Chains A and B, each alone.
Chain A
Amino acid sequence: MTKHHVSATVNGDAVEFLCDSQETLLEVLRDELRLNGTKEGCGTGDCGACSVMLDGRLVCSCLVLGVEAEGRSIETIEGMAVGRELHVLQRKFLEHAALQCGICTPGILIAARALLERKPDPTEAEVRCGLAGNLCRCTGYHKIVEAVLDAAREMRGQG
């Protein structure tokens, strides 16, 4: 089978990879580019564990083909911390113990960052609606919501 040669930008770095037509962006990220932070949950766009940014849009990478990434910019969880310095959201998730098994966490962090970029001062309901596409089967969501609200406060300079 002929493979597609794809050039894209991942977390600011130019990357090239080969993929089959039916390979998803999630498979490419994990299996070709070895960026294993993005997780597969359901594989059908219901759980949000594979959330990444594609040209600035929050998407499920299991619902994007690798070949569709040609010329596009992708941001994954691996690009969230700067060097050894965690993003505020990452730090707040640790402080609030907003994770247990951790499978949903990378997707939730990416979705939460996208939410706070749109709404720097969200209500609790807006956080819950903004993260409705991300399922967590461990925490019951309460600590996640608290962590996101706390991160929003700090990012607005009211830490």
Chain B
Amino acid sequence: MSEMRYEAPKTLAAAVALLSGAGGSARILAGGTDLLIQMRAGRIEPTLLVDIKGIAEVTSIVADGDGYRLGAAVTLMQLTEHEAFAREWPGLIDGVKFIGSIQVKGRATLGGNLCNASPAADGVPALIAADAVASIIGPAGRRQVPVAEIATGPGRNSLAIGEIVTALLLPRRPARSGDAYLRFTPRTEMDIAVVGAAVNLALDEQGFCRQARVALGAVASRALLVPEAAAALIGTRGDAAALAHLADAARAASRPIDDKRGTRQFRLRIVGVMAQRAAEIALDRARRKA
């Protein structure tokens, strides 16, 4: 193996300078649960690892008037243990809990799950449904991008050289809102999603759905936002006909592949079921918050 440097800068400016200086052969180390495996398998040979966990801004969870600001390198265990956040965004926590074992969650991060850009990433559909925004810093300064625009395909993301996702910004929730994420896997634990579906919605005082976002995982080269599926819910009380329309819209938007975890045909069949069931859970959670 060629020589690899390890740096643990204390500031984002120093991290950006290190990454920019290495011109694309550097990798960001957050939890390392994907990165170290890719290095071990010889798929990547970085010349520099920039460990960002020593930077306070990326390892803290902050709640303010605008919502939550999740540091990109907060571990998934830290996130699941944050009770106020879990009450506010139970669907995001549904997804986080599916990721790996307790050991893996003790290291893995939501920023890493997003930037690793697996189409089956369990943390991503609920982030998209939540309308989360990625806060990015790089050589050209700071910018904000909807989470749905980070992954561009399997293992590929839209970050430029030297850029770091520092945080995920979750908006404030309206009253009577709820979210949920479900996935299909042959096993209940330690598996990769064959299909995933996230629904985030808000009800009015009469129980009619006034806002909704639906996102699907593992049915395309990246997680998809499906406005047609959300439109099937909006203006309804989530009755059987609305849920059937939602399921149809989810199937119509999916472009799955055949692989060892499931055939295209199976995924197309199951994605509607998953979206419908996730919507039912999200509706139930929103009604409980009335």
Q: Give complex CA distance A54, B77 in Å.
A: 13
Contact status A64-B189, CB under 8 Å:
no
Do B51 and A45 touch across chains, with their CB atoms under 8 A apart? no
* CB–CB A133/B51 < 8 A: no
Instruction: Select the stretch in B96-104, B131-139, B143-151, B202-210 that faces chain A.
Output: B96-104
Chain A residues whose C-beta falls within 8 Å of the C-beta of B101 in the assembled complex? 45, 48, 60, 132-134
**Which residues in B have their C-beta under 8 angstroms from that of A65?**
6, 29, 32, 36, 49
Judge whether B51 and A68 touch: CB under 8 Å: yes
Q: Taking CB as reference atom, which chain B residue is nearest A67?
A: B6
Q: Is B75 an interface residue (CB 8 A)?
A: yes
Closest to B75 in A: A57
A129: chain B residues within 8 A (beta carbon): 189
For chain A, what secondary structure do more than half of its interface residues adopt (helix, strand, loop), or is it mixed? Answer: mixed
* CB within 8 Å for A64 and B103 given contacts A4-B6, A129-B189: no
Residues 247-269 of B, flagged 1 when their CB comes within 8 A of A and 0 if not, give: 00000000000000000000000
Chain A proximity of B28: nearest CB distance (Å):
13
Chain A residues lying within 8 Å of B51, measured Cβ to Cβ, are 68
Judged by a CB distance under 8 angstroms, whether B39 is at the interface is yes
Q: Using CB atoms, name the residue of chain A closest to B2.
A: A1
Chain B hits for A67, CB < 8 A? 6
- Residue A158 at the chain B interface, CB threshold 8 Å: no
Q: Does chain B have a CB within 8 A of A24?
A: yes
Interface residue range, chain B: 20 to 34
Identify A63's interface contact among B1, B33, B53, CB under 8 A: B33
| Interface residue from A43, A51, A68, A132 paired with B40 (Cβ < 8 Å) | A43
Inter-chain contacts of A133 with B (CB < 8 A):
100-104, 190
How far, in whole Å, are A124 and B29 apart by their CA atoms in the complex? 36
- B33 and A57 within 8 A (CB): no
A46 CB within 8 Å of chain B: yes
Q: B8: which A residues are within 8 A, CB to CB?
A: 68, 70
Closest Cβ of chain A to B148, distance in Å, is: 27
- Cβ contacts under 8 Å, B4 to chain A: 21-22
Name the A residues within 8 Å of B106 (CB-CB). 54, 57-59
Contact B6 A132 (CB under 8 A): no
Does A111 have its Cβ within 8 Å of any Cβ on chain B? Answer: yes
Q: Mark B32-52, 1 if CB is under 8 A from A, else 0.
A: 110011011000000001010
For the complex formed, measure the closest distance between the CB of B109 and the CB atoms of chain A, giving whole angstroms: 12
Annotate B100-121 by CB proximity to A: 1 below 8 A, 0 otherwise: 1111101100000000000000
B288 at the binding interface (Cβ < 8 Å):
no
Q: Is the CB of A46 within 8 A of B36?
A: no
Q: How far is the CA of A133 from the CA of B107 in the complex (A)?
A: 13
Contact among A24, A54, A57 with B36 in the assembled complex (CB-CB below 8 Å): A24
Chain B proximity mask over A110-142: 1 for CB below 8 Å, otherwise 0: 010010000000000000011011100000000
Which of chain B's residues 1-21 have a Cβ closer than 8 Å to chain A? 1, 3-6, 8
**In the docked arrangement, what's the CA distance between A54 and B6, Å?**
19
Q: From residue B81, how far is it (CB to closest CB) to chain A in Å?
A: 10
In the complex, 27 of the A-B residue pairs with CB atoms within 8 angstroms, ordered by the A residue number, are: A1-B3, A22-B39, A44-B37, A45-B33, A45-B37, A46-B190, A57-B75, A58-B102, A58-B103, A59-B106, A59-B107, A60-B104, A63-B37, A63-B107, A64-B107, A65-B6, A65-B36, A67-B6, A70-B8, A111-B102, A129-B189, A130-B102, A132-B189, A133-B100, A133-B101, A133-B102, A133-B103
Which residues does B use to contact A, with CB under 8 Å?
Answer: 1, 3-6, 8, 29, 31-33, 36-37, 39-40, 49, 51, 53, 75, 77, 100-104, 106-107, 189-190
Apart from A45-B101, A129-B189, what 11 extra A-B contacts exist at CB < 8 Å?
A: A21-B4, A48-B103, A58-B106, A59-B107, A63-B32, A70-B8, A111-B102, A132-B190, A133-B100, A133-B104, A134-B101
